[in-house]
Amino acid sequence: MDAPAGRYGAVSLVLSRFIPGVRAVVPPFAGALRISPVTTMLALSLASAVWYGLVSYLAFRAGADWGALMARITRYGRFAAIAAAAIVAAGALAWWIRRRRMA
């Protein structure tokens, strides 16, 4: 594990900050892999600058055209709700069929 950390340490730190659920454990793992504190700090600072810059930009764009964004969210939200209901129904049907076969 030390070889990849040495070769791709800073790059892996930057990229891992964009993976949901992994952000919080990046600094402790950097310490466990003995990546230099300066390298860790610089990599995480760069990743944070990119991440929060992107979030700020998207928030600014959303605020500039709020009506169109809400129309899109409403349209896609309806589609997402229908898709989620279909997945739940398919899962319930599969569970029911498997239960009947076992009985």
Count of beta carbons in the 10 Å neighbourhood of residue 9 = 19
Break the chain into its structural domains and give their ranges.
1-64, 65-103
Quote the pLDDT of residue 4: 59
Amino acid at 75: R
CB 14 within 8 A of CB 46: yes
pLDDT tens digits along 26-57:
889 888 888 889 999 999 999 999 999 999 99
| Model pTM score | 0.58
Average pLDDT value for the chain: 88
Give the whole-angstrom CA distance, residue 54 versus residue 90. 37
